[in-house]
Amino acid sequence: RKYRRELQLRKKCHNELVRLKGNIRVIARVRPITKEDGEGPKAANVVTFDPDDDAIIHLLHKGKPVSFELDKVFSPGASQQDVFQEVQALITSCIDGFNVCIFAYGQTGAGKTYTMEGTLENPGINQRALQLLFSEVQEKAADWEYTITVSVTEIYNEVLRDLLGTEPQEKLEIRLCPDGSGRLYVPGLTEFRVQSVDDINKVFEFGHNNRTTEFTNMNEHSSRSHALLIVTVRGRDCSTGLRTTGKLNLVDLAGSERVGKSGAEGSRLREAQHINKSLSALGDVIAALRSRQGHVPFRNSKLTYLLQDSLNGDSKTLMVVQVSPVEKNSGETLYSLRFAERVRSVELGPGSRHT
Ligand code: ADP
């Protein structure tokens, strides 16, 4: 009977998620104007909201108004908790075996890291997600055994780095699981089992230190690399032995600014080309999914290949498009919001399972 109840619960949760528009949801978050934005006309606010519809955002670009409709728009007044509330149903669905991907997209300085990592006083989605997963699995502990593991990685110039590794690393490669499940894995990537909130903090601190030690200009480095927190939740029903595995990918993408167009040279140009390559590969994958093409080019970048599990038909994806509200960034904002609308019109289906 317990098994039947569990299945009913799952079905309910599944139906709830399916009700969400499309499988890729897109929300925008506009950051507040900060001191760094400076003063004068270039620091003027060019973003406004619709008082009757929290899915609409208006942008004034070169004096012309442009409007976009997304799934939800958060104004600068929104708290970390407000944003988290919007994504928590997705997060807990990984306990039921769904693969989930949440990524922050936008130009450098638009608030991606604030949304995902947050600050010590005001943590973002990453920490809140792990805390929520802990409390949810504890509630189910009478019937289910769960293990939660995390990996922390970054992709920089198309190279995947393990940020929880303690040994000098071999080059990490993404492989297909030999069990025929179609899942992907990365041999050698550290999976750290977290058993308490304290463990979470240790993992974040370790990963963070590992990320920063090698690069002298961390701001530049982090704006050009993708940071990924991969949480795997494995469950086993104590009475039936039924097993589930769900994966939650939390991704702070590289800055979407079009560096390649601003006369970059040498290694900067190479970096820019890599970033453009992986972000445009993401766009291409999404376009292929949208048109339900048989072939989806997941393997065109490390990012899309690694996220393949989370972008196919059975997965739940949410993109937070970060927006700077000031005039000098309106060109990049326009570009980001156009990308957001393009992503939003994707509905994942069974046809998207091919690689
Ligand atoms: P990105 O990761 O996109 O480069 P950051 O997250 O570093 O951008 O944000 C740039 C600056 O703006 C940081 O100082 C950050 O603390 C601040 N900021 C971003 N979003 C918010 C917000 N919603 N509320 C308060 N400060 C924010």
CA–centroid distance, 59 to ligand 1, in Å, is 19
CA–CA gap between residue 276 and residue 262 (Å, rounded): 13
Residue of 30, 31, 108, 217 to mutate, ligand 1, most atoms within 8 A of C-beta: 31
User: Dihedral through CA 207, CA 208, CA 209, CA 213, nearest 10?
Assistant: 110
Q: What is the pTM of this model?
A: 0.89
pLDDT > 80? residue 72: yes
Q: Identify the residue whose C-alpha is closest to ligand 1 atom 18.
A: 111
Q: Which atom of ligand 1 is nearest to the CA of 252?
A: 2
How far, rounded to the nearest angstrom, does the alpha carbon of residue 121 sit from its chain's CA centroid?
22
CA–centroid distance, 33 to ligand 1, in Å, is 10
Q: Identify the residue whose C-alpha is closest to ligand 1 atom 5.
A: 111
Average pLDDT for 324-351: 83
CA–centroid distance, 250 to ligand 1, in Å, is 17
Decide: 104 and 223 in contact? Cβ < 8 Å: no
Beta strands in the chain (DSSP E): 24-30, 47-50, 53-61, 64-69, 72-74, 99-105, 144-156, 159-162, 175-176, 184-185, 192-193, 226-237, 243-252, 316-323
Residue of 27, 33, 34 to mutate, ligand 1, most atoms within 8 A of C-beta: 34
pLDDT band of 286, cuts 50, 70, 90: confident
Average pLDDT for 53-73: 95
pLDDT > 70? residue 12: no
pLDDT band of 217, cuts 50, 70, 90: confident
| Range from 7-11, 81-85, 171-175, 202-206 carrying the lowest mean pLDDT | 7-11
Neighbours of 136 (CB within 10 A): 16
pLDDT of residue 44: 95
CA–centroid distance, 355 to ligand 1, in Å, is 35
Q: Identify the residue whose C-alpha is closest to ligand 1 atom 10.
A: 109
Average pLDDT for 182-208: 89
Question: What residues are in contact with ligand 1 under a 6 Å CB criterion?
Answer: 31-32, 34, 106, 108-114, 223, 322
Mean pLDDT of the chain: 86
Q: Which of 140, 129, 142 is nearest to 92 (CA)?
A: 129
pLDDT > 90? residue 284: no
CA–centroid distance, 47 to ligand 1, in Å, is 16
Q: Identify the residue whose C-alpha is closest to ligand 1 atom 23.
A: 31
pLDDT > 80? residue 21: no
Q: Which atom of ligand 1 is nearest to the CA of 322?
A: 3
CA–centroid distance, 31 to ligand 1, in Å, is 7
ipTM of this complex prediction, to 2 decimal places: 0.99
Q: Which atom of ligand 1 is nearest to the CA of 34?
A: 12
pLDDT of residue 9: 65
CA–centroid distance, 104 to ligand 1, in Å, is 12
pLDDT band of 178, cuts 50, 70, 90: confident
Decide: 66 and 80 in contact? Cβ < 8 Å: no
Of all residues in the chain, the percent with pLDDT exceeding 70 is 86
- List C-alpha distances in Å: 309 to 207, 209, 246: 23, 28, 10
Q: Identify the residue whose C-alpha is closest to ligand 1 atom 19.
A: 111
CA–centroid distance, 119 to ligand 1, in Å, is 10
